């Protein structure tokens, strides 16, 4: 059979590489961008290449296939030891590291709870965080509240959402926790490059955007072979296939579900696409001539005294209030003096469009105020991600809104069923992080969803005829 994979992100590569291993040889990957990886991507800053996309392994354990791939490729040995986390208040004073760590970890335990589908993480967090605040002495209450609020904002950042009250408390109902998070900055894009080394280059079409998938039809090639699916590219080329695995982002599906498939998607499939949330996460890389932080620091947090745990949400008008978490790119010998500032959701959307001069000057004042050092110079280079404005991603990752059951991800994962050509099964299949309810929002989720669809095809051909 001829199989076309649309999209060369983790899901598309997972599907294509697995199919290849399973003995399917007639595979074509069609990718709109100039390079593979999708939301795993790289850019150059200073003398180093950095990950502008995914840089965390969610689950640093043998259970996680991406962790195992990094380990096998020898890249894990380059991950530095964890450094110190600094917490600054807006008056320029540092907070005791042990105290802030204790409160922060208590907050994380609260937010990782799952429960009723009709309740939001925001409601649960407000209630439980308040109980924790009330347990402290009067002179500590404000500080505890502002650290806990930071935990809430960090969570918004993790999932790319704009309001904890819009995120379902049942988000973790089916989720498989594979262990601690691990920052593998500068290594994720290398993993993708390594994985592609053995994949036949002639089967990969880059800079080739797909405009439409015509399915449930009869399309003949020059030799007279008839295929049920025709993948129409923006440059006019048509690629015929027995099976197409669609791995484009949920953001792209939201934007073009009505025009991308002909015949159109079922009402149930369309509803699943509409119901799920698709967030944005922004990174701002700041390169300095000289570091204003010590060598053993890996994270810098800014906490606002007036932040509340009762409503954790973004506000574009006060976007700097959401630029509170900075990670230090380490080791210094490899990356130089580079910080990554992180921002969630619509704040990330805003930052994508801001003039660089305005952005740089605002961030510099912000850092000076929190560190209490008016002499910190502006960064010499600023680089920001643009995942929302990129029409081939339209954001970063899916999340579960209140009153939405993660089972809709199963609906999204179901292959389309043809009516005109019913004997041609599995014409259009779906993979991607938004199609896997146990691991959505993760690289391993995307990768394994690709494997799932490859296995689905293998099973089909085992039951009907041998794979060719």
In a shared domain, residues 179 and 288: yes
Write down the pTM of the prediction. 0.96
Report the CATH number that the domain containing residue 98 is assigned in CATH. 3.90.660.10
Q: 258 and 122, same structural domain?
A: no
pLDDT at 112 (0 to 100):
85
Asked if residue 330 and residue 208 are part of one domain, the reply reads no
**Tokens representing residue 446 in the block:** 């995307």
Does 347 lie in the same domain as 203?
A: no
**Tokens 């003039």, located at residue:** 355
The answer as to whether 59 is a domain residue is no
- Asked if 238 and 287 sit in the same domain, the reply is no
| Residue 48 included in any domain | no
- Supply the CATH number for residue 397's domain: 3.50.50.60
Where does a domain end: 334, 351, 384? 384
Please report whether residue 125 resides in a domain: yes
Give a yes or no: residue 145 inside a domain.
yes
Judgement on whether residues 294 and 343 belong to the same structural domain of the protein? yes
Torsion of CA 458, 462, 464, 468, to 10 degrees: 70
Q: How far, in Å, CA of 152 to CA of 161, rounded?
A: 11
Tell me the CA end-to-end span of the chain in Å, nearest whole number. 6
Boundary-marking domain end, from 335, 350, 384: 384
Pair 123, 206 in one domain: no
303 & 170 share domain = yes
Is the domain of 297 the same as that of 418?
no
**68 domain-assigned:** no
Domain count, the chain: 2
Question: Does 12 map to a domain?
Answer: yes
For residue 142, the enclosing domain spans 80-183+281-384
Provide the token pair at 314.
Answer: 């973004």
pLDDT of residue 420: 86
Per-residue pLDDT of the chain (468 residues; tens, 9 = 90+): 999 999 999 999 999 999 999 999 999 999 999 999 999 999 999 889 999 999 999 999 999 999 999 999 999 999 999 999 999 999 999 999 999 999 999 999 999 887 787 899 999 999 999 999 999 999 999 999 999 999 999 999 999 999 999 999 999 899 999 999 999 999 999 999 999 998 999 999 999 999 999 999 999 999 999 999 999 999 999 999 999 999 999 999 999 999 999 999 999 999 999 999 999 999 999 999 999 999 999 999 999 999 999 999 999 999 999 999 999 999 999 999 999 999 999 999 999 999 999 999 999 999 999 999 999 999 999 999 999 999 999 999 999 999 999 999 999 999 999 988 777 899 999 999 999 999 999 999 999 999 999 999 999 999 886 554
User: What is the structure's pLDDT at 465?
Assistant: 67
Last residue of a domain, one of 324, 352, 384: 384
Whether residues 374 and 295 share a domain: the answer is: yes
Per-residue pLDDT at 466? 56
272 and 224 share a domain? Answer: yes
297-303 and 84-89 as β-strands: parallel, antiparallel, unpaired? parallel
Check whether residue 100 and residue 177 sit in a common domain: yes
Q: Does residue 60 belong to any structural domain of this protein?
A: no
Contact 237, 435 (CB under 8 A): no
CA 118 remoteness from chain centre: 25
Residue 184, both tokens: 């593998």
Q: Does residue 71 lie in a domain region?
A: no
């Amino acid at each position: 059979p001829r199989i076309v994979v649309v999209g060369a992100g983790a899901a598309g590569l997972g599907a294509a590489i697995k199919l290849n291993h399973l003995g399917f040889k007639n595979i074509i990957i069609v990718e709109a961008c100039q390079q593979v990886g999708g939301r795993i991507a790289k850019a150059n800053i200073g003398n180093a290449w950095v990950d502008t996309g995914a840089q965390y392994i969610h689950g640093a354990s043998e259970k996680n296939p991406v962790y195992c791939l990094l380990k096998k490729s020898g890249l894990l040995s380059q991950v530095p030891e964890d450094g110190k986390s600094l917490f600054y208040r807006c008056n320029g004073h540092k907070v005791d590291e042990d105290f802030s760590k204790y409160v922060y970890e208590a907050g994380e335990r609260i937010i990782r709870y799952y429960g009723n589908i009709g309740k939001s993480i925001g409601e649960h967090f407000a209630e439980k965080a308040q109980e924790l605040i009330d347990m402290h002495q009067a002179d500590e209450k404000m500080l505890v509240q502002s650290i806990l609020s930071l935990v809430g904002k960090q969570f918004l950042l993790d999932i790319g959402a704009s309001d904890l009250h819009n995120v379902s408390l049942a988000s973790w109902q089916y989720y498989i926790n594979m262990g601690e998070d691990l920052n593998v900055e500068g290594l994720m894009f290398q993993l993708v490059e390594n994985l592609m080394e053995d994949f036949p280059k002639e089967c990969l079409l880059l800079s080739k955007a797909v405009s439409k998938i015509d399915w449930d039809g009869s399309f003949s090639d020059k030799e007279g072979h008839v295929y049920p699916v025709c993948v129409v590219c923006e440059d006019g080329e048509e690629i015929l296939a027995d099976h197409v695995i669609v791995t484009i982002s949920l953001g792209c599906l939201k934007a073009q579900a009505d025009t991308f498939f002909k015949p159109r998607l079922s009402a149930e499939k369309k509803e699943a696409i509409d119901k799920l949330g698709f967030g944005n996460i922004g990174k701002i890389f700041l390169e300095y001539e000289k570091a204003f932080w010590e060598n053993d620091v890996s994270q810098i947090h800014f906490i606002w005294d007036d932040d509340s745990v009762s409503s954790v949400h973004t506000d574009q008008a006060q976007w700097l209030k959401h630029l509170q978490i900075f990670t230090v790119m380490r080791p210094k010998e490899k990356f130089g003096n580079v910080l990554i500032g992180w921002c969630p959701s619509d704040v990330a959307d805003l930052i994508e469009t801001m003039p660089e001069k305005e952005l740089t000057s605002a961030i510099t004042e912000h850092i000076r105020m929190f560190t209490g050092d008016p002499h910190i110079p502006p960064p010499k280079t600023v680089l920001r991600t643009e995942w929302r404005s990129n029409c081939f991603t339209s954001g970063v990752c899916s999340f579960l809104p209140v009153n939405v059951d993660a089972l809709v991800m199963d609906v999204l994962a179901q292959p389309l069923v043809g009516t005109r050509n019913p004997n041609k099964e599995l014409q259009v299949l779906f993979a991607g992080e938004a199609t896997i309810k146990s691991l959505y929002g993760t690289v391993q989720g995307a990768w394994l969803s690709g494997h799932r669809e490859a296995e689905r095809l293998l099973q089909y051909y085992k039951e009907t005829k041998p794979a060719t």
